[in-house]
Chain A
Amino acid sequence: MSTPLSGPGSATQAPGREPAGSRPPRSRPSRTRDDAPISLTGLAGKVLLLGLTAGVAVWAAFPLIAAGMWPGLALLAACTAGLFYLYLTRRHIPAKYLVPGTLFLIAFQVFPVLYTASTAFTNFGDGHRGSKDDAIVAIGSSSVTQVPGSAEYALSIATKGDPATGALVFLVTDPGTGAVSVGDTDGLRRLDPADVTVATGGRVTAADGYTVLTVGQASSRSKEITDLVVPTPGGAVRSSGLSRAYEGKAVRAYDAGCDCVRDAETGQTWTADAEAGAFVAADGERLAQGWKVNVGLTNFTRVLTDENISGPFLSSLIWNFAFAIGSTGGTFLLGMLIALVLHSPRMRGTNFYRVLLVLPYAMPSFAMLLAWRDMFNADFGLINSLFGVNVDWFGQAWTARFAVILVQLWLGYPYMFLVATGALQAIPRELTEATSVDGASPWQSFRAVTLPLLLVALSPLLISSFAFNFNNFNAIYLTTEGAPFPADNPANGATDLLITYTYRLAFGGQGAQFGFAAAISLFIFAIVAVVSAVSFRRTRQQEEVYA
């Protein structure tokens, strides 16, 4: 690529870098660059796309500013400025093509992988989502109880002065005595009954020296109202909504001195455990509200050491390979055979057959998987009643495995048929004709000429199909859900793939365990990556032989 320093048309311009049609006469380089035709649609497209970019950037900027995420904002500004620069200059032609794809690659591939990897080292999951401060707040606010025997007050929210900015007070009426008091952070003070107007039901509608707020006015200061507690000897008067107040007490509070939560009534303490991300009592009891902490390699070691996981892992892995190879290989064989049959010049009505054959591909696989599941029902299913058999398809390991592969075959062969048809048409007929002239049988000519050439074209597709089927969650989850399960192990079924098995482990227990799930995903990622890398390497060798 020419260096940016060399101006347009300078002698260092590498020949052949520019499209042949727009190559300028060397004498007037700078003018001709501008003379390169600017079509109206091109210009409009440019304006539109850059405008959209700027629009998206502005839209994304507001939340970033609101959250005070300045590094994020700087990144956004830099990206947007970079994009504008790139598409407003006439330089950096290759970058114009590469940058959008690269940005999307980073956003949708690299970032999720890194995020998953970083999650795998934490205990992120239900009960451990937020920070320690969040947990402390949640523990405090969920322990607020009404002081036994205390009054329920009718409440009006009022201010001294301006409704929007004045200091907030509670005007509370004791329903028993009808006495009205004003409450702020200093406590409750009785008001002279002559100074207040009380509506039926007990709520104060007007008071001398105070402005009673409407619901609308009050709700715009919601946070202050929720935070306002009026201390009383027994606890504190707190609001319950905007029209009622009660005397409540937060029974549990955090004590920074012992880094623990103390229950004021029982005196029990729960000490913060920074490794578990929870408050734990001396007897091992945990408070439900925990926080997210770094747990190092715990999630990874759990996969390897937990018997429930490592025990059935190997058998699941073998079945997982069998399923992926069976699905991919089966669909490939069936698709290719049909493609070969329809490729024969003696075949009539090929277009009609092609349309029929592609139909399963045109239907949504979700719906088809559910329909197949019902067809395999032992008592009411179509398959048993059609063939007059009484097979408990999903109740026995081997029939269930056979059934899911059969469903995959039906769902997947049209794709293989389509790509094989395309690849076959790219193979010159002269080659096969030449083999028959040389006296080769059709099988020999297929084996020696057609199949290798097909495989060169289709190997990458087979590898990606394998990787997809290796993690084909829907194929299992929408049909057998992993069934049948051995009677003594409800965690791992005969048709469970690693992905459905680990989904159950990570989300089936006590809420979601995202950290653990991420660790398992990394293991599966490693397996699929190794298999794909090896396959691609072999494909390349094959291409070198046949290309």
Chain B
Amino acid sequence: MRIRTAGVVALFALALAASGCGGDSDEPAAKDTPKAAGGKLVIWADDKRTAALKPFAEKFGQENGVTVEVQAVSKDLQTNFVTASQQGSGPDVVVGAHDWIGNLVQNGAIDPVQLAAEQKSAFNATAIKAVTFNGQLYGVPYAQENLALIRNTELAPEAPKTIEDLVAAGKTLKASKKATETLCLQVGQNGDAYHIYPLYTSAGGYLFGTGANGDYDPKDLGVGKPESIEAFKKIGALGEKGAGVLKRSIADTNSIATFTGKKCAYLVSGPWAVADVKKANIKYDISAIPGFAGGKEAQPFVGVQAFYVAAKGKNKALAQEFVANYTTTPELAVALYNAEPRPPALTAALDQVKGTDPDLAKFQEAGRNGQVLPAIPAMAAIWDPFGKAEAAVIGGADPTSTITAAGKTISGQIK
């Protein structure tokens, strides 16, 4: 009796287990079936791009008799990709920003992509430069983005030619109580290197020098050099103890909202801000970020979104086929533009959408003199110390000691 009860329980349990692993035993079978029909391609992208990629990935699958899976990784895509590919459970293709390349390469996570000369020439030259690392092309770009000056044309009809013009116009607006702030440029408590960079370059500063082949050279660090200190003296003069144009209280959380709330006439932001501005029914125009009078041009960072072939993917040949020979078509670039309006990197695709969206051309024009965001791993050491030094100087700290210390911290972290 006792044995029987135990036996019955065990039998039931095993039956349940068998039914439970029914789903599992399907899986090897499922793996076999498409194997006969073709391979499987797994793509990782963030949420927005996943939605845009799905129809095209399916089309690619149907045309070629393969299964294509687009999986959304909504958080920490880069880290997850590196970790997963190390374990052998990563995707075949990943979509991400070009400044990941340095880290992905040092972790052996991506392979170079070989594009034919005529394929390369179909792209914007800056975009191709951005995905080139150590002389190798590591990804296929599809969109690029940069900062520009968005202004409320009701408050500021004219695009300012210099920062000084902008400050003067802002002062008039503040005096007549039409605005409470001059410029919405996000700084935040701990600074924002990406957004201050145009002013930093205009005032003469640089982050990394470029080597003979045009690549950034991590050994030539510009932060802490006399030029950078001079640049931050000019930035500090715009800060809280100076003109009051740059403020730590304006941060990533409230910069766009302050502009759409008509509290400031000028906003420094990228294509992602346009949707909010349109929603607030603000009459706006886009122009290049002005530089200091008598200074250099203000150069924003140019960032590029790209497709990468995973080095440890299970289906590399198919992944290369998809990235090198399918994502280079304008249709896909236009679809991705429709999912999120950033200027396409393919010249043909940009021409196609330019007509319906005049903002694109303006953003592109504003980024014409931009600098490619450095993809070298050393860039990771810049963001935090540089931003904090910026915040400190804007708060009124002494630029010389602050920037010298930041330069020391950064060079200490670069191997």
Residues of A participating in the B interface, judged by any CB pair closer than 8 Å: 33-34, 38, 43, 46-48, 50-55, 57-59, 62, 84, 88-90, 126-127, 129-130, 134-135, 137-138, 141-146, 152, 214-220, 222-223, 225-226, 238-244, 246, 248, 286, 288-290, 308, 370, 374, 377-381, 392, 394-395, 480-485, 487-491, 504, 508-512
Contact = CB atoms under 8 A, between A and B. Distances in A.
Contacts of A218: 317-318
Given A380-B258, A490-B405, A51 B16 contact: yes
Nearest to A394: B189
Interface string B390-408: 0111010110011011100
A226 B317 contact: yes
A510 B35 contact: no
A142 B103 contact: no
B12 A47 contact: yes
A288 B311 contact: no
Contact of B14 (A38, A54, A242, A392): A54
A52 B385 contact: no
A518 B383 CA distance: 23
Q: Top 10 nearest A-B pairs by Cβ distance? A: A216-B38, A51-B16, A138-B108, A55-B20, A54-B17, A219-B39, A241-B321, A216-B65, A487-B397, A379-B249
Contact of A484 (B116, B189, B323): B189
Residue among B13, B37, B383 with max Cβ neighbours from chain A (10 Å): B13
Contacts of A244: 114, 116, 324-325
B17 to A, nearest CB: 3
A54 B249 contact: no
Contact of B381 (A138, A145, A509): A509
A420 B263 CA distance: 47
Interface in B1-48: 1-2, 5-6, 9-10, 12-17, 20-21, 24, 27-28, 35-39, 41
B358 interface: no
Interface residues of B, number: 93
Contact of A146 (B38, B114, B316, B398): B114
B24 A490 contact: no
Q: Determine the main DSSP class of B at the interface with A.
A: helix
B355 interface: no
A215 B66 CA distance: 8
Contact of A58 (B10, B20, B258, B314): B20
B106 A127 contact: yes
Interface in B298-318: 311, 314-318
Contacts of A215: 38, 63-66, 318, 321
Contact of B112 (A46, A126, A142, A377): A142
Contacts of A289: 105-108
Contacts of B121: none
Given A216-B65, A223-B316, A490-B385, A89 B106 contact: no
Contacts of B37: 216
Given A215-B38, A216-B39, A223-B316, A509 B14 contact: no
A248 B105 CA distance: 19
Contact of A485 (B39, B66, B392): B392
Nearest to B65: A216
Given A47-B12, A216-B64, A395 B325 contact: no
A88 B6 CA distance: 5
A331 to B, nearest CB: 25
B65 A214 contact: yes
Contacts of A240: 113-115, 320, 324
A377 B79 CA distance: 31
Interface string B124-140: 00000000001110000
A485 B103 contact: no
Interface centre among A137, A378, A490 (most CB of B within 10 A): A490
B380 interface: yes
A243 B323 CA distance: 12
Contacts of B177: none
Interface of B: 1-2, 5-6, 9-10, 12-17, 20-21, 24, 27-28, 35-39, 41, 63-66, 79, 82, 86, 102-103, 105-108, 111-117, 134-136, 189-190, 247-251, 253-254, 258, 311, 314-318, 320-325, 377-378, 380-381, 383-385, 388-389, 391-393, 395, 397-398, 401-402, 404-406, 409, 412-415
A488 B402 contact: yes
Contacts of A135: 108
Contacts of B392: 485, 487, 490
Nearest to A242: B321
B64 A142 contact: no
A323 to B, nearest CB: 18
Contacts of A512: 79
Contact of A220 (B21, B39, B415): B39
Contacts of A50: 9-10, 13, 16
30 contacts: A47-B9, A51-B12, A51-B13, A51-B15, A52-B20, A57-B17, A58-B17, A62-B28, A84-B13, A126-B103, A129-B82, A137-B311, A138-B108, A141-B112, A143-B136, A220-B36, A220-B38, A222-B314, A222-B317, A223-B316, A223-B317, A238-B114, A242-B317, A377-B251, A392-B395, A487-B398, A490-B406, A491-B409, A504-B384, A509-B380
Contacts of A241: 317-318, 320-325
Given A220-B39, A395-B189, 14 more contacts: A58-B24, A59-B24, A126-B82, A126-B103, A127-B106, A134-B108, A219-B39, A219-B317, A222-B39, A243-B321, A246-B116, A395-B248, A487-B398, A510-B377
A33 B2 contact: yes
A130 B323 CA distance: 25
A202 to B, nearest CB: 12
A34 B14 contact: no
A243 B64 CA distance: 12
A255 B105 CA distance: 21
Nearest to B79: A512
Nearest to A381: B249
Contacts of B412: 308
Contacts of B385: 490-491
Of A127, A223, A239, A246, the most chain B CB neighbours within 10 A belong to: A127
B253 A374 contact: yes
Contact of B66 (A143, A219, A394): A219
Contacts of A126: 82, 103, 106-107, 377
Contacts of B111: 141-142
A55 B318 contact: no
Contacts of A238: 114
Given A50-B9, A216-B39, A244-B324, A55 B16 contact: yes
A33 B320 CA distance: 67
Nearest to B316: A226
A481 B15 CA distance: 54
Given A481-B189, A510-B414, A54 B105 contact: no
A511 B64 contact: no
Contacts of A504: 384
B13 A510 contact: no
Contacts of A379: 247, 249-250
B248 A142 contact: no
Given A52-B20, A215-B64, A215-B318, A483 B189 contact: yes
Nearest to A245: B114
Contact of A52 (B16, B63, B323): B16
A380 B254 contact: yes
Nearest to B312: A134
B1 to A, nearest CB: 5
Given A374-B254, A395-B248, A129 B86 contact: yes
In this complex, which of B17, B107, B391, B409 has the most chain A Cβ atoms within 10 angstroms of its Cβ?
B107
